Amino acid sequence: MTGSYPTTVQEIPTLSDLYSNGQISEPDAKWRPGKQYRHAEDLNKRISIWRGDMTKLKVDMIVNAANSSLLGGGGVDGAIHRAAGSDLLRECETLGGAETGETKVTKGYKLPARWVAHTVGPIYNSSRAERNAKQLESCYYTSLAHCAERGGGSIGFSSISTGVYGYPIKDATAIALETTRNFLEKDKSITRVIYVVFSARDEDVYKSLVGHYFPAPPSASNFDPGSSSGGAAGGAARGQE
């Protein structure tokens, strides 16, 4: 957790660090990802899972789980607006709101982050699960794209839609990880993606699934989703604020 001072990217361990220190075990064997991913050490060095305060994170961009008005709310949304100061609200008032799955960017103002990406996650409904998954994927993809358009660097994500919006945490985490993996395979400008989690439970979920999408080096684990025998075939896995 953080103190009163900003936390820099250099202070946060990468996924490679977590693997080498034995802080992540084999991924959840019951989870069925839709695709098998091979180990890529360069990608593992660009991923972090961090339990801390989003408003204290000194990165190029943080991602706010906003409501459609973009004018602030509860949880992380409210905390970001309070920490950034009134200038953030004034800029948000010029944006005209946003649709579900859409992302709009403002300056960070008093935050340590240079930019804030305000993304509107879906309110989960099991009868609209497929549509909700596409909307949540869009939240992550458009946020990453906005960061890349502004020169890349480091980006911190809140766990979008998994709080009062009710998105199942494992499904949402899988979408976050898979969308990031697919984006980073094509983009070199984003040097670090930090999944900022609030609770130990959410941290455990990220750590239990990350190995499916960003596998450990073969020497660190017998589990290799990219091998002909590793992993489990299955349907697409779709799936705190």
Please report the pLDDT score of residue 26 as a whole number.
Answer: 87
Please report the pLDDT score of residue 220 as a whole number.
Answer: 55
Residues whose CB is less than 8 angstroms from the CB of residue 228 and which lie 6 or more positions away in sequence, other chains included: none
Beta strands 47-51; 57-58: pairing state: unpaired
Q: What does the alpha-carbon distance between residue 92 and residue 97 come to, in Å, rounded to a whole number?
A: 8
Please report the pLDDT score of residue 25 as a whole number.
Answer: 82
Please report the pLDDT score of residue 133 as a whole number.
Answer: 98
* Per-residue 3-state assignment (H helix, E strand, C coil) for 119-175: EECCCCCHHHHHHHHHHHHHHHHHHHHHHHHCCCEEEEECCCCCCCCCCCHHHHHHH
| pTM summary value | 0.89
Please report the pLDDT score of residue 228 as a whole number.
Answer: 33
Per-domain boundaries in the chain: 35-220
Looking up tokens 């075939």 gives 233
Please report the pLDDT score of residue 188 as a whole number.
Answer: 97
Q: Which two tokens stand for residue 118?
A: 């305000």
Per-residue tens of pLDDT for the chain, all 241 residues:
445 689 999 999 999 999 999 999 889 999 989 899 999 999 999 999 999 999 999 999 999 999 999 999 989 999 999 999 999 999 999 999 999 999 999 999 999 999 999 999 999 999 999 999 999 999 999 999 999 999 999 999 999 999 999 999 999 999 999 999 999 999 999 999 999 998 999 999 999 999 999 999 987 544 444 443 333 323 333 334 5
Residues 183, 184, 186, 188, CA torsion sign:
positive
- Closest to 110 in 3D by CA, of 133, 87, 92: 87
Pick the CATH number of 35-220 from 3.40.220.10, 2.60.40.1530, 3.50.50.60, 3.40.50.300: 3.40.220.10
Please report the pLDDT score of residue 138 as a whole number.
Answer: 98
Cα angle vertex 61, ends 27, 171, to 5°?
A: 30
